[in-house]
Amino acid sequence: MGPVPPPADGGIAAYLDGLLRSDLARRYELTTFDVRPRRFFRRHRGLRPLLTVKFVLGYTLRLASSRPDLVHIHASDNASLWEKSLLAGLARMLRRPYLLHLHGNAYEPFLMALPPAGRRLAALGLRGARRVIVLSERARGGRLAELAGLERLVVLPNAIHMRDFEPPGAPPPGGASAEAPLPGSGLRLIFVGNLCSDKGVDDLLQALSEVVRSGSTNFQVDLVGDELESGERARYLRLAEQTGLAPRLHFLGTVVGDRKLELLRAADLFVLPTHRESFGIANLEAMACGLPVVSTRTGAIPDYLTDGVDGLLVEPGDVPALAAALRRLLGDGALRRRLGEAARRRVQELDWSVAAASLAQVYEQALCGWATPAGGRPEPPAALRAANP
């Protein structure tokens, strides 16, 4: 259960796309239930309860008719956690075991702010799960561990299919895409994410202004992603005009599939200055293309990106540090190549061939009703120990 691709236009959808194309699809009969909120409901969040009612009705019918052996529920945070907890409760009523897979980046503050009644309700959904999957060791603690039970939490990092990012053969005449040549000249930076302050777009534009003022001007920036809130794109366009960056910035909207891959392969470096991130699968895709990555120390990102080894990391919201990292990479081709080569080697450890083996063990444990002995945390299986050293 989750935002079923296509398109694979977000972290959970990209994960589901990878899962459905992994070896697990041959080992198990995987069926999907789509809970992707359409654009209308994303822009009119007050009407979201109507969508939840639709999901509940459709999901109840699906559970009753197909009686799955296991329900794998993918959830974001805040309202999504309540919605998925409701759907988990329906699975529990119909005696269907389920996993909760938490992809959001704000569980801890959300859970900390709940009143006692809200905490009890959240704990009901969490403790009813055979396992609660989180994306990093940092997420396996605090109020979440208290409400779910530490022994129930399993850390499984996100993954990609490396085969999707194998270097292509000879490029077509005219660059990465003969049909849609990239505008501008010079080094190319690429950002992939929603156009919002949480993804660091405001910080990125401020940092780029500092880069230009320092004399580094030989670059163009592709911003791939759409607004979540109406008017955000127009605000960034105005900000680009005010700062003189407009000729360098290309707002491309949502781009998926082969075209996104073309843009990544045509770039010289990738930047995601996000303020809050559960994992940052866009970083993995850029690393798989051999790009040096500039990102932030948040969520699971420091688990797979080491500053100065396979990327550059700054603190969220630190605009001067972000500008310095961008200047450093724009001015040093050898560093870009070294970090990009190391990034591609590192991300091979996060291929779906590895992730599928770990997730299969969680499935088998859940299907067998594997329970933790009272009084302690179990020794995880070998594949989980490898994924979570």
Q: Where are the domains of the chain?
A: 11-159+352-387, 163-349
Largest CA distance in the chain: 65
Cα distance between the two ends of the chain: 29
What is the reported pLDDT for 39?
Answer: 66
DSSP annotation string for 331-378: T-HHHHHHHHHHHHHHHGGGBHHHHHHHHHHHHHHHHTT--PPTTSPP
* Single-letter amino acid code for the residue at 216: S
State the helix-helix crossing angle for 79-93 and 48-66, rounded to 10 degrees: 30
Environment class of 382 (CB within 10 Å of its CB; exposed 0-12, middle 13-18, buried 19+): exposed
**DSSP state string for 108-163:** HHHHHT--HHHHHHHHHHHHTSSEEEESSGGGSSHHHHHHH-GGGEEE----B-GG
Spatial CB neighbours of 214, under 8 Å, sequence gap ≥ 6 = 323, 327
Which residues, 6 or more positions from 249, have their beta carbon under 8 angstroms from its beta carbon?
Answer: 205, 220, 221, 223, 240
Cis peptide before 167 (omega within 30 of 0): no
At residue 371, does pLDDT exceed 80? no
Higher-pLDDT residue of 368, 20: 20
pLDDT for position 235? 94
Q: Look over the chain and give the mean of its residue pLDDT values, rounded to a whole number.
A: 86
Instruction: Out of 63-67, 167-171, 249-253, give the one with best mean pLDDT.
Output: 249-253
Residue 208's nearest CA partner among 166, 162, 251, 271 is: 271
Phi, psi of 216, rounded to the nearest 5 degrees:
-90, 105
Cβ-contact 316, 297 below 8 angstroms: yes
Residue type at 147 in one-letter notation: L
The pTM (predicted TM-score) of the whole model is: 0.84
User: Which of helix, strand or coil describes residue 34?
Assistant: strand
Beta strands across the sheet bearing 269-272: 249-253, 219-224, 187-192, 269-272, 293-296, 312-314
State pLDDT tens for residues 191-223.
999 999 999 999 999 999 999 999 988 899 999
CB under 8 Å to 166, separation ≥6 — which residues? none
Is the model more confident about 168 or about 242? 242
How far is Cα 212 from Cα 218, in angstroms, rounded to an integer?
9
pLDDT in tens, 356-365: 999 999 999 9
CATH class of 163-349: alpha beta
Q: What pLDDT shows up at residue 375? A: 35
Per residue in 234-283, pLDDT tens?
Answer: 999 999 999 899 999 999 999 988 899 999 999 999 999 999 888 999 99
Cβ proximity of 303 and 188 under 8 Å: no
Quickly state the pLDDT bin for 167 (edges 50, 70, 90): confident
74-88 pLDDT, tens digit per residue, is: 988 777 788 888 889
Asked whether this chain's domains 11-159+352-387 and 163-349 adopt the same fold, the reply is: yes
Residue 151, both tokens: 């022994």
Query: Looking at domain 11-159+352-387, which CATH architecture does it have?
Result: 3-Layer(aba) Sandwich (3.40)
Nearest 5°: the CA angle 319, 323, 324 is 120
